[in-house]
Structure 1
């Protein structure tokens, strides 16, 4: 029973190694164009000015 578990584990490890080795990308001669994208500057902070006029009763 233990031997079957060890053999099964070894086969699965070897299988994973073969799959990972076969999925490595091949060297290609394609060139990629690199573009730089800059974010727009944030809008200026809007400040609100509240002016309170105190006037006496002019009656």
Structure 2
């Protein structure tokens, strides 16, 4: 009785292994694309500079 259960289980496992090995999955090719995004050039620097002075406030 035990031998029949073990033998049946072994045959089931072997059958599943053969089925899974014989059916090869579809070959899919995955390609990785690297795209370079270029930002527009910065606007030309202005010739006038603004300096803001903040005086320290006393408490």
TM-score of the superposed pair, with normalisation by structure 2 = 0.42
